[in-house]
Chain A
């Protein structure tokens, strides 16, 4: 047992933190939000040179061969910097290809996903109030060797710039199936959503898009495991968001004076900051456990599934209260656009609303304890 980061992980965290503190400050974050694609292509290129898109992908495909734990360490720093990049979502969409894709498919796509030249996106959510795990209604009618896909997916992260989609469809056999669709395939249309999410989201419409058996990259268990990876690194990102909000709150409570003294000397204020810290530390250690157990998945799959559910349900339960406290400590300043807190609280809300809510994850915990 040893819950401390090792030297490599610490180095990775330090170098990422420096990048955001020195070169990619919250001013750059504001600029990026104004870009047509909703993120900084320049930062994405820089991150590609650093090898981050492939950090948790195998060396045989050009990755660094580290694990999800290392990506989680990076994700926390991304969150602390309020960085919006396809790093985490593209990684998660790569996993079904890696695990279940044909040799040809992997050889073609994975090296350029590993380098960051290409971006992948999971296309799962559909209109009608569903979520990532809802039964898909995008239909596939048999045609020749394969099928013709028809239907619409919503809230696809970085959907307007993605090079390929991993789409959850109904092939008529009852179970959901994941298929790869290239973004420039005929009859694929996409349009940016009008959203308050800092992550650029797109609607993607498939109008009789040709898919062949070689495009199939997994079933429900593969999807669930990819979502486990996705939600764990997203939670690590949320830890960074929360920690940044806490740092802002502490700074404000230390400097803002009322009645002739800093407001932070009042326990009603200081204990709100402490409560944030008490919850953030728990989020972080639960997230590290989930990442570590997914890295050791084959050794104990049920422990991994449980750790993922525990980390997600805890974080999704406390993130709203962490931000409610951060805003309360800040008073009116906290909701101005010129102040940084809003950058983090909007991202935190995007985290909460994707990947399954606290109740869904809590039900998975219930199952894991024998209920």
Chain B
């Protein structure tokens, strides 16, 4: 048992922080702000990370990676998320889309997609949810009908982050067999978003720009060679992909950065002749946030420890995810609470506080208990697979 990072990992963190300090422009916040510079910047930034070998640190050498340890990967995730995730949409390529292609892709698919991901110059979005297939994802109805050596795709996807970035590719789930049990008739595709018949419509969202879009497929034709894995085996791939994803975001790390800024604010701000930091209610609230952050962090580390020992931390990752999404929301809640009425002002208002960080934390954290499997769905999985409780007939 060891609760510390190795000196080598800590040195790597220091190096990464210095790099972020040098590379992040003063205007950078996150990719979800309404700033035309943000999305192009994430591409540039990823290219720079790639040049240093840090973008695909976690990937195996044979696919252009550095075979980084799970703990080095954790350091990267923490530092990136704390800095507003300057990799933008591309963290998805690294965390699970690339690994899925490594695991299930043909040599041609690997040669086509992995080097571009490794170079940091390609944006992917995910086409899973549909208007009538949310938590019950397997009931999706977007059709991919085989026609010789191609598929004809018709249907609608929704809640697609970054589709309007614009995304270059989409990891798509579509029904290839409507006549079998719903999970057994789904396939996964690697779709070029420039395919005729694909339309993207952004959904204005309080959580920020590019957070959500809809994608419409209207007789979009793709080659059979763009199917990932076997036909009708897409559901298995989803399970793999989401397992990679659950500890793929170090949410506690940004909450910790928010806490750091709130502590500084509470120490510097005097209200009615008393520092906020001397108000017992403020102290208790910030300390509670600190405690919850520590819990979320250690549960992630626990899941990673299991991963490092060669096992799959399925339930542990779900539990860690619940803590992480909750603490991300708590940080936004506590942050705005501390600012009071002035917290309502935007960052470009001359009386705005803390550069708008608390609003962004609140707004961007609203979807996190819903996206990639709602908390309730996670709890059903824990109840049945983790605790062995009966499932309803």
Contact = CB atoms under 8 A, between A and B. Distances in A.
Interface of A: 1-6, 9, 69, 246, 250, 253-254, 261-262, 264-267, 270-271, 273-275, 277-278, 281-282, 285-286, 288-289, 292-293, 307, 310, 313-314, 317, 359, 362-363, 365-366, 368-371
B354 interface: no
B263 A370 contact: yes
A5 B1 CA distance: 6
A274 B383 contact: yes
Interface size class of B (residues with CB under 8 A): 35 or more
Nearest to A318: B295
B308 A363 contact: no
B288 interface: yes
Nearest to A293: B3
Contact of B323 (A264, A282, A293, A359): A282
A103 B302 CA distance: 42
B379 interface: yes
Given A1-B4, A277-B386, A285-B298, 6 more contacts: A1-B6, A9-B1, A261-B392, A274-B386, A317-B288, A369-B259
A369 B383 contact: no
B260 to A, nearest CB: 8
A297 to B, nearest CB: 13
A285 B379 contact: no
B294 interface: yes
10 contacts: A2-B1, A3-B302, A5-B1, A267-B376, A274-B386, A286-B294, A286-B295, A317-B288, A366-B287, A369-B286
Secondary structure of the A side of the interface? helix
A371 B267 contact: yes
Given A69-B1, A310-B291, A4 B305 contact: yes
A370 B302 CA distance: 27
Contact of A3 (B3, B291, B323, B392): B3
Most B CB contacts (10 A, CB to CB) among A1, A250, A365 go to A1
Nearest to A4: B305
Interface string B250-269: 00000000010001001100
Nearest to B4: A1
A310 B379 CA distance: 25
A273 B301 contact: no
Contacts of B386: 274, 277
B287 A286 contact: no
Contact of B287 (A246, A281, A365): A365
Nearest to B386: A277
B180 interface: no
Contacts of B153: none
A85 to B, nearest CB: 25
B287 A363 contact: yes
A274 B323 contact: no
Nearest to A290: B3
Contacts of A275: 379
Contacts of A286: 294-295, 298
B306 interface: yes
A292 B309 contact: no
Q: Quick one: which of A261, A267, A369 has the most chain B CB within 10 A?
A: A369
Chain A CB within 10 A, most for which of B3, B266, B290, B388? B3
Interface in B282-303: 282-284, 286-288, 290-292, 294-295, 298-299, 301-302
Contacts of B299: 281-282, 285
B267 A265 contact: no
Given A271-B379, A370-B267, A254 B3 contact: no
Nearest to B282: A371
Interface of B: 1-6, 9, 71, 74, 259, 263, 266-267, 277, 282-284, 286-288, 290-292, 294-295, 298-299, 301-302, 304-306, 308-309, 316, 319, 322-323, 376, 379-380, 382-383, 386-393
A288 B301 CA distance: 13
Contacts, number: 151
Given A281-B299, A285-B295, A289-B298, A1 B305 contact: yes
Most buried by A among B306, B380, B389, B391: B389
A273 B283 contact: no
A265 B263 contact: no
Closest 3 CB pairs of A and B: A270-B383, A365-B287, A282-B295
A261 B283 contact: no
Nearest to A285: B298
B271 to A, nearest CB: 15
A286 B292 CA distance: 10
Nearest to A250: B387
Contacts of B292: 314
Nearest to A312: B291
Contact of B390 (A264, A281, A288, A310): A264
A278 B319 CA distance: 6
A362 B383 contact: no
B3 A271 contact: no
B389 A4 contact: no
B263 A369 contact: yes
A288 B1 contact: yes
Of A2, A262, A274, A292, the most chain B CB neighbours within 10 A belong to: A274
Contacts of B295: 282, 285-286, 314
Given A4-B309, A270-B389, A371 B379 contact: no
Contacts of B302: 3-4, 281, 285
A45 B28 CA distance: 65
A270 B5 contact: no
Contacts of A369: 259, 263, 286-287, 290
B304 to A, nearest CB: 8
B5 A273 contact: no
Contacts of A4: 1, 302, 305-306, 309
A41 to B, nearest CB: 34
Contact of A1 (B3, B277, B387, B391): B3
A328 to B, nearest CB: 15
B389 A3 contact: no
A160 B82 CA distance: 54
A286 B299 CA distance: 9
A314 B6 CA distance: 27
Contacts of A278: 319, 322-323, 382
A273 B137 CA distance: 25
Contact of B389 (A9, A273, A314): A273
A262 B390 CA distance: 7
A246 B298 CA distance: 21
Nearest to B301: A3
A126 to B, nearest CB: 25
A12 B376 CA distance: 36
Q: Which has the most chain B C-beta neighbours within 10 Å: A261, A286, A370?
A: A370
A313 B287 contact: yes
Given A285-B295, A286-B295, A273 B383 contact: yes
A277 B319 contact: yes
Given A366-B283, A370-B267, A6 B1 contact: yes
